[in-house]
Chain A
Amino acid sequence: MSAPESGVVRSPQGVGQRVPLIDGASKVTGSAVYTDDLKMPGMLVGKILRSPLPHAKIVSIDTSRAEAMPGVKAIVTGSGDMAKFGVLPISKDEVALAVDRVKYVGDCVAGVAADTEEIAMAAMAAIDVRYEPLRVFDKAEDSLEDIDPGLKINPDTRHASNLHKEVNQNFGDVDAAIAAAAHVASGKFRFVGVTHAFTEPHCVIAHFEPTGRLTIWSATQVPHYLHRDLSAVMEMPMHKVRVVRPMVGGAFGGKSDPFPHEMIASLLSRKTGRPVKILFDREEVFLTNHGRHPTKTSVTVACDENGKLTGLDLDALIDGGAWGSFGVVTTYYNGVLSAGPYDLGNFRYRGRRVYTNKAPCGAMRGHGAVNSRFAFEVLVDELAEKCGLDPAEIRRRNLLTSNTTTLNGFRITSNGTAECIRRVVEASDWDKKRGRLPYGEGIGIACGFYISGSALRINWNKVPQSTAHLKIDMDGGVTVHCLAAEIGQGSDTMLAQCVAEVLGLPIDWVRVCARDTDTDPIDLGSYSSRVTFMAGLAASRAAEVIRQKLCQAASRLTGRPAEGFDTRQCEVVFLPEPEVRVHYLDAVLEAIAGKGALIAKGCYHDAPKMGGDHKGAAAGLSPTYSFQAYVTQTKVDPETGFIKPMKVWAAHDCGKALNPLAVEMQIEGCLHMGLGQAMMESFGYNRMTVSNPNLLDYKIPSALEMPDVEVHIVESNDPEGPFGAKEAGEGPLLPILPSLANAVTDAVGVRFYELPMTPDRVLNAIEKKERAAARTASGKKRTPEESVR
C-alpha cells in the first residue's frame, strides 16, 4: 500500500496528517460508553470472594448460609470439570474459580450474584471457606527446587519444580568472546514488578440470553481470545457466544488475557438467566495484575579495543506469579529482543520463568524487553567508559544495518537507528554536554528495538491475523468492520485514516465498528504492537478493492479508461485530464446500481517465511521492527537523592507516521510509563499480600514529574507496512529507563543495577561512592580495583 506521489493530498485527514483521535471528543465530554456505563433490565451485581491465603488447600466451602440470604440469586464455586484456559494454547493453566487449591492472595474462590452490592458483600462474608495452608513459594529461586508434585502450582508442567518455562539459546561462542575481549562489563540487575495502572478498572457484563446465546460486554484488548476461551469454558460453540468490547479506558497489556471474572460473570448469568455485572474495585485490579514480571537479570557484555561488541551473555530469572498468561513469550522476549539494534557478535541466553504464589504477571507495554534492555544499555555505557569512547559513538559503531539478518535469525528490513541517534545527539547538543555538565546534572543516551506484531499467530490455524470488511451504501458513508481493539491507543482512528486515504475522503465519512464478534471479522487484538501494521494493511487492502470499483464506475460515467482514475478529496479524477472528474457520491451510486451496497474485504495473513531453525526460532520474529534512540538530561540532588528529569529528546523510527499527533502521544505516554518504572513504581509484597494495591501507594508519576519531551519522528518507510508504517506504541518505552539511568551516572557518578531509582537508593549510592572516594583519598584502604592499578 503506498501513498500517492508527494504533494498530492487525497484526504485532509489521510496518511501523514495530524488527526485528533476520532473518539477523543466523546471521551473528554464524558459521553463515551464504557462497560460500567451499560445497564440492562434485571441486571444483577456480581462479586468475587477471593483467597486471603497465598497457597492453601480448600478443605471445604459452605455457601448454604449465603444462598439463603434474601436478594442472593446465585453462587458459583470451582469444579474440576471446567475447562482450563489461558491466552497461549501452550500454557492453558487458568481456572475460572479455584479447584481444591488457592494459589495466590486474591485467587477467585466463589462468585456471588445478588440484587445489590451490599447484599453481595454480605453474602461473601457468609460463605464459610476452610483452608489448610500449604508451603508458600515466594522467592523465584525457591521455585527452582524439585518438590512434591502436590506442591506444583501448575501440576501440568513437565518439570519437577515450579519452573514454568526454560529457554536456552546460543549463537556463536560467547565464553571465547568474553575471554578474548578487550573490555568486559557485567552486572546483576534486579527489577521489581510493575503494573499497568490503567484508569478503567476491569468490568464485565455477561448475559445468558433466552435464545440460548451468551453475550458478554467486557473491557478487553483481545475480544477474539476471550471469544475462544469463553466458548471452551462455557462449553458452547463459538457461534453461540458474542463478545462486545465497549470503550476501554486504558489497558497497556493488562486486559490482554481472557480472565476468570469474565468466566464467573458468564457462569452466574447462566445460573440466573439474568445479566450479571462485575466491576472491580482498584484493589482487585492490583490482585489481578498481569503486569511486568519481577526479574533478576545477569548480563555480561564484551567488546574489542575499538568498542565493537563481541558478545552478550544474558540470564533472566523471571517471577511469573501463579498463572502462565503470556509467560512463555515473556521468557523468550527477555532474551531474544536484545538481538537488535546492535550487532552482538556472539549471543547466549538462558531464561527461566517460574511460578510463585503471587498475583499473575503477564504482558505489559514493552513486553519482555524492558528489563533486559535496561541492563544491556547501562552496560554498553560502562563499556564506552572502559574504551574511552563517547556513549553515542560506541552505539553508532555497533548498529545493524537495514536489510540484514540478526544472528538469531530476525529479518531486519527498514532500520532508522542511525538517523535516530543523529537526530537526538544533534538536538540535545550532546557533544557539548556529555561529561561536561556540573556535578548533579547529567545527560544519557540509550537505544531501543521492538517487534511490530508477531510474525506467527498464537493459535496454529489458518485464520488471517487481521481481516477488515468495508461497506458503502447510497449515503456514501464508509463502515469499517474489524475486531482490532481500540484501547485508547488510536486504532479506530488509524483504521479510519487508512480508509480515508485510499478512498480520498474526509475522515468523517468513515465510521469504525470494531467491537462486536457478531459483525466484525477477526483481528487477533491489541497486543504485541501489531494493529497498525496488520489491521492497517487489512483495512487499506479492503479500501483498495472499493477504490477500484469507484474508478470503474467513473470510467463508465465518463467513457475514460478506469486505470487513469484516482480518488481525490471526494472526487474520482481522471488524472490524464484532471477536468474529467466524477463526484464520489455519483461514483458510489453508479457502482451500487442494480448490485446493492459496495462491500469488500482485505486481510493480513502472515509475514513472509523467515527465521532460523533453532528451537524457539519463531519467538520474536516480526514482519518488521521499530527502533529508537533517546537522550535524557536530568538533575540529581546529591543531598536528597531526588532525580528530576529535565528534558528528553526522543527519536523513534515508526516507518511512516500515519498520524504524527498519535505517534507523539504514544511516545509521551511510553515515556511517562517508563519513567514510572525507573523512578518510583514498585509492585511490592508484604508477606505475600500486594503491599500497595491502590493508586495512592502505588506511585505513578504525576504531570509534575514529567520532563519536557521533544519528539523526533524518523521515517524509514517500511517496505511492507501500511504506507510504510510500523509500530509506535511499545518500543518508545524501552530507551527512557536506561537513558535516564545513564544520565544519572553522568550527573553523580553512580551506576544503577536496580529499579526503581528512588531518592533513598540514589542517596545511598552517592554516599557509598563518597565514602569509597574518601577512603581512597586518605590512603587508608584501597578498593581491589585501585590496588591492581
Chain B
Amino acid sequence: MILSPFQLHRPDSIEAALALAAEHAADADFIGGGTDLMQNYKNRLNAKGNLIALNEVAELRGVSATRIGAMERLSGLADHPIVRRDWPGLAEAITHVASPLIRNQGTIGGNLLVETRCYFFNQTPFWRETKGSCMKAESDECLVIPQKEICYAAYSGDLAPLLGCLGAVLELASPTGRREVPVSEFYQGDGITKNVLGENELVVGIVLPDGARALRAGYRKLRLRDTIDYPEMGVAAAVKLDDSSRITELRAATTAVDVVPQFADYTGTCAGRTIADVLDEVADDLQANAQPKKNTALPVGYRKKMVGVFLRRLLRDLADGKSEGRISAA
C-alpha cells in the first residue's frame, strides 16, 4: 500500500507552523512522529494534501521538572532522568505504548492526539468498499450502531488517562494566541470531534503541576499481547495518602472504553479513608461508567468487567507502593 500524495512543509517555529496551517486550512495535518498518521494515510483515511512537520520547531522540545515539550519522543521520555525521578508512573505508562520501535519515533503530543479507533474505520479502502464505509471515513452512517449522529470510534491513547489523573494541563497555541486546557477537560464530543483543539491549533507542551509529584500514579492496560497492541481497555489512577495511609486525593480514568477518556475524581467521597476501604466502591463506579462498544477485538462485556479488575489491582499496587517493574531502576 502506498501513501497518498502530499506536500511536506518543515516550519522551524510555532508561528510558521500555525501560518502554514491557516494557509492550507482544511487540507493540512500537523505531523509529529507520524506513526499513527502515516498508517491512516496509507489507508486513505481522511488524508490531507499538506503535512506540516513539527520536527524542527525547537519550542516543542524540552523536558523540565514541570513541563514536557509535545514533540518529545516517547522512548527518550521513558528514559529521561527527570521523568523517571519525578513521574515514574508516567515513565512506566509510556512503556505500554505500542512497541519500542514505534516509541522511538512517536511523540507524547502525538500520543495524546492519537486518532480514535474503530474496527470499521481502521481498514483498507478495499475492505471498506466491501462493507460500505463508516461515518468517520467516507460515509455518513455508523457501522457499529447504525445511526447518523454519533461516531463510536474509541479514544485509545495510553497516556491521557494517567496525565489527566495527575492534573496535567495542555498548552495550546493558535493564530489567535495561547491557552491552557487540563487534560481531563480536553477530550470532548465523539469519535469524530474528539477534543477541544481548534482547526489550526497546536499542542505545544504538557505542564505537570508541582503538587502532583506527591501522587502515586499508575496505568494498567488490557490487550492480548504485552506489546504492539492498542489498549482494549486501560485504567489509570493517582492517589495521595497521608502519613496514616488515608486518602487525601484520588482520581481514576479509563481509556479505550468510550469515545473519549473518562476521568473521575473520587477525592470527595474517599478522603480520609484507606484504599482498601474504598476499593470496591471506586472500581464498581468506574466500571459502571465504562461504555465500550463492539468495535475492538475483545467482547464488550469482558472489557467492561476488566475495568474493575484492573483498577482494583492498580489501587492495591499503589497502596503497597508497587510498580509493574516494566522499567529498571534509574
Contact = CB atoms under 8 A, between A and B. Distances in A.
Interface of A: 50, 52-53, 105, 117-118, 121, 281-283, 639-641, 679-680, 686-689, 691-694, 696-697, 699, 701-702, 704-705, 758-760, 763
B2 A118 contact: yes
Nearest to A701: B225
B129 A52 contact: yes
Interface stretch (B147-155, B165-173, B295-303): B295-303
A704 B227 contact: yes
A283 B225 contact: no
23 contacts: A50-B126, A105-B130, A117-B2, A118-B5, A282-B1, A283-B124, A283-B127, A639-B309, A641-B302, A680-B224, A691-B119, A694-B124, A696-B228, A699-B224, A699-B229, A702-B227, A705-B225, A705-B226, A758-B224, A760-B299, A760-B301, A760-B302, A763-B302
A53 B126 CA distance: 11
B127 A702 contact: no
Of B2, B230, B302, B309, chain A has the most CB atoms within 10 Å of the CB of B302
B102 to A, nearest CB: 11
Nearest to B305: A763
Nearest to A54: B130
B292 to A, nearest CB: 12
Nearest to B120: A686
B127 A689 contact: yes
Contacts of B127: 283, 689, 693
B71 interface: no
Interface in B296-325: 297-299, 301-302, 305-306, 309
Contacts of B222: 640
A640 B126 contact: no
Interface of B: 1-2, 5, 119, 124, 126-127, 129-131, 222, 224-230, 297-299, 301-302, 305-306, 309
- State the 9 A-B residue pairs at the shortest beta-carbon distance, nearest first: A760-B302, A704-B226, A52-B130, A689-B130, A281-B1, A702-B225, A702-B227, A52-B129, A680-B224
Which DSSP category, helix, strand, loop or mixed, fits chain B's interface?
loop
A692 B120 CA distance: 10
A699 B130 contact: no
A281 B124 CA distance: 11
Contacts of A52: 126, 129-130
B225 A693 contact: no
B197 to A, nearest CB: 26
B225 A758 contact: no
Contact of B124 (A117, A641, A693): A693
Contacts of A693: 124, 127
Given A117-B2, A641-B302, 18 more contacts: A53-B130, A118-B2, A283-B1, A283-B124, A283-B126, A283-B127, A640-B309, A680-B225, A688-B130, A696-B228, A699-B229, A702-B226, A704-B227, A705-B225, A758-B224, A759-B224, A760-B302, A763-B302
Contacts of A639: 309
A454 B143 CA distance: 48
Contacts of B130: 52-53, 105, 688-689
Contacts of A705: 225-226
A688 B5 CA distance: 31
A19 B282 CA distance: 58
B229 to A, nearest CB: 7
Contacts of A641: 302
A708 B301 CA distance: 33
A503 B124 CA distance: 54
Contact of A686 (B131, B226, B227, B306): B131
Contacts of A680: 224-225
A184 to B, nearest CB: 33
A702 B306 contact: no
Contacts of A688: 130
Contacts of B309: 639-640
A701 B228 CA distance: 10
Nearest to B131: A689
A756 to B, nearest CB: 9
Contacts of A702: 225-228
A697 B225 contact: no
Nearest to A693: B127
A690 B295 CA distance: 15
A640 B306 contact: yes
A704 B131 contact: no
A704 B227 CA distance: 8
A641 B5 CA distance: 45
Contacts of A282: 1
Contacts of B306: 640
Contacts of A53: 130
Given A52-B129, A687-B131, A759-B302, A704 B2 contact: no
Contacts of A283: 1, 124, 126-127
Contacts of B305: 763
Contacts of B129: 52
B309 to A, nearest CB: 5
Contacts of A758: 224, 298
Contacts of A699: 224-225, 229, 297
A760 B229 contact: no
Contacts of A763: 302, 305
A53 B131 CA distance: 10
Contacts of B299: 760
Contacts of B224: 679-680, 699, 758-759
Nearest to B313: A639
A121 B124 CA distance: 14
A696 B299 CA distance: 17
A10 B123 CA distance: 57
A688 B222 CA distance: 28
A633 B306 CA distance: 25
A693 B122 CA distance: 11
A301 B152 CA distance: 48
A705 B131 CA distance: 33
Contacts of B302: 641, 759-760, 763
Nearest to B308: A639
A50 B124 CA distance: 13
Contacts of A697: 297
Nearest to B127: A689
Most A-side CB within 10 Å, residue of B5, B130, B298, B306: B130
Contacts of A704: 225-227
Contacts of A105: 130
A686 B227 CA distance: 26
B157 to A, nearest CB: 16
Nearest to B302: A760
B299 to A, nearest CB: 5
Contacts of B298: 758-760
Nearest to A53: B130
A701 B2 CA distance: 27
Contacts of B124: 281, 283, 693-694
A723 B2 CA distance: 50
A692 B297 CA distance: 9
Contacts of A760: 298-299, 301-302
Nearest to A284: B126
Contacts of A640: 222, 306, 309
Contacts of B301: 760
B126 to A, nearest CB: 6
A482 B225 CA distance: 41
Nearest to B124: A283
